Structure 1
């Protein structure tokens, strides 16, 4: 999910100019809690039919608090810019959906309210999905309450595997061998695409090898992508393409949208994909119902490789006139009843561990494996505003592309990526 950060505004003239530009374009909303209304920004697109859901939530909220709920929808592609301008102009909403990788950035900018005491009083921290709670915590304080998330695991063609007597791999050697067999037996399909423009797919192999993307160092962070364990993960992942031919040169520039297209048109046999992907595929190709299955990402020698768990937090802005009322809304949204309803409608998982564990017990081959991955091996990227800059530069994606294209060795590419990351960290 995407998120937004409040940049420091230096100078009264700049602040006024920014606020004026925001208002003139019709983007300013402000926080209107003083008239008994709670203003909430929700990202548009996660739930295609969010209106009825928030009508129900709004009625429950009014019954609970006597306040009115004003839900405004913000398209994901426009969200970062809209939040940035609103923060600069002091026109942020009371509460907003915030992508998990933006929460630290917003907190660092001073835009979000500290929710630690509220959460402790509600005694709900133990039921927050750990990786989501970590992503919502900055400098030891909770600024983002987990709402929902998705996770990546293996998605494969169940019918193709059955035809050739193959099973979902449970280790890295098995993953390599299954991909090799698919290459031989299904020449018209891509056995296992190695995506050149998807950092989050790479992350799973770095973490699976025992490596890290970055580690705390003093008061800051240092890159760990050039460390031995991380290099091992990068090497295995890219070798599936460069040495074993289970990918294709075209995938060097693929992002996750390209992968979904490949799965949908029947050209991909097995891939690392998001928990939301099956619904997208089946929506376009209903004839594939029963022909897809999922499995957790295997570790090098068995077990699970961690994978990126990303979604959205709910955060309260400092501009909220009534932060207690804002917290009431968050409690309602993350309650078992409404968290489950939102998850059922969107295909994502709730931010509550108890509900994810319940999903892991289901027999659905397109739900339970992803839920298990999320509950047992979900991870988040380094919780520091500097990592957003690294992602913006596509440092890790460009590293993978350099290896896949043969322009750099694994050692050279990881070493140079580590140096670029350290520049962003301020070393």
Structure 2
């Protein structure tokens, strides 16, 4: 499906600067552009936490063994990773290689901080999931390598659905019907877990209704969140709480972890959640695992069930003085046999098509509870590829719009009109 702001072709036919291996060869592939030797600084932020760090440390050692004379200086960043990167860019103290949030890639590229990866992003098609390619692009050039991807799906109480004779919802209208039925049949159980404080749980519904967040026409970006489709999508989600009373009042400010906690306590019968939310539910209530089921996201009137592709990209900073080794290290990290152990530990999907297929068919995402996430992965999209999108997220404007509707402070039409103006102020100059 073509999307108006999805970049599938490039402005240049030049070959990519970095030749990436997405397969699992044993022998190290030669790097181009200089001698592979010396030290490189590699920074890893979220989602590489304490659980995943030993795997990455071992991979760095394996790389040094495969390439004698090289040294990988690893640094693991905390929750302030975005600020740390911006500070390093401003101060000229950037690492050579960094794992960055996929929504940061256009932002950092707009600051002239990242090395181009492919002058022709279309050359990356078939090697990576399309939405993750899109997340690396600014002005027709790719500036990062897709690494991992996090998608959301429906999580629901199979025992409650079975008792009510319900199948997994395939549309948002069926979600409403199922949530209403489950709530009526089970005292103390809310039919649906609203996540009012996190836009990525419901902003993609604009696509499901046939709308767009923003479109590019002649090089100028314009917000479309005030379209009838976008207004209808936000109205539907908000009314799950305000009209249908299918969620607790406090869920106006909930994050995904709050909904997962309520689910684990038996207070919610269905929610949209990532594989990380599913992991949280099971960790907090192991006995509930047998009662759980998942399904791909429901579709809307627009005829699609697309959701947001979160995740991370590997980037090489322009300030790196050892680009040959940096490129070689990225190649090494992207091999399926090196990529999958890390993404499995994270609990996210790999962003290469070969590794994704391996995970879907025989890997961790072939498990019954996780299959839906692998099935959903092809039906994902990225944010509009503009360098100033971070300003939109930073102001909290999207969450504020939804919460103002839920709280009855604004009509959906008024809230979305105001939001469109705020988005235009941030990205309209692109």
TM-score bracket, normalised by the shorter chain, equals 0.7 to 0.9
Contact 1:226 1:418 in 2 (8 A): yes
Indicate the residue corresponding to 1:421 in structure 2.
Answer: 423
Give runs of ≥4 in structure 1 deviating > 4 Å.
117-120, 301-304
Matches within 5 A, 1:25-424: 36-43=38-45, 46-66=48-68, 67-75=70-78, 77-116=79-118, 125-300=125-300, 304-361=304-361, 363-375=366-378, 377-424=379-426
Contact 1:390 1:421 in 2 (8 A): yes
2-structure distance, mates of 1:321, 1:409: 54
- More deviation, 175-184/235-244: 235-244
Matches within 5 A, 1:6-21: none
Cα gap change, 1:34/1:89 in structure 2, threshold over 3 Å: closer, same or farther?
farther
Q: What is the TM-score when the length of structure 1 is the normalising length? A: 0.86
3-state SS of paired residue (2:76): strand
Contact 1:340 1:355 in 2 (8 A): yes
3-state SS of paired residue (2:367): coil
1-structure distance, mates of 2:257, 2:72: 34
3-state SS of paired residue (1:148): strand
Structure 2 regions of 5+ residues with no counterpart?
A: 1-34
Q: Which has the higher contact order (CA 8 A, sep 6+)?
A: 2
- More deviation, 56-65/346-355: 56-65
1-structure distance, mates of 2:84, 2:97: 14
Offset of residue 117 of structure 1: 6.1
2-structure distance, mates of 1:72, 1:38: 11
1-structure distance, mates of 2:105, 2:46: 18
Structure 1 regions of 5+ residues with no counterpart?
A: 1-32
1-structure distance, mates of 2:170, 2:125: 32
Residues 24-44 of structure 1: CA deviation (Å, up to 9, x unaligned): xxxxxxxxx998112100115
Contact 1:100 1:136 in 2 (8 A): yes
1-structure distance, mates of 2:124, 2:206: 31
Cα gap change, 1:284/1:46 in structure 2, threshold over 3 Å: closer, same or farther?
farther
2-structure distance, mates of 1:73, 1:194: 33
- More deviation, 132-141/226-235: 226-235
RMSD of aligned alpha carbons: 2.2
Contact 2:120 2:141 in 1 (8 A): no
Contact 1:116 1:143 in 2 (8 A): yes
Contact 2:205 2:233 in 1 (8 A): yes
Tell me which protein shows more helix as a share of its residues.
1
Cα gap change, 1:334/1:264 in structure 2, threshold over 3 Å: closer, same or farther?
same
3-state SS of paired residue (1:127): coil
Q: What is the TM-score when the length of structure 2 is the normalising length? A: 0.86
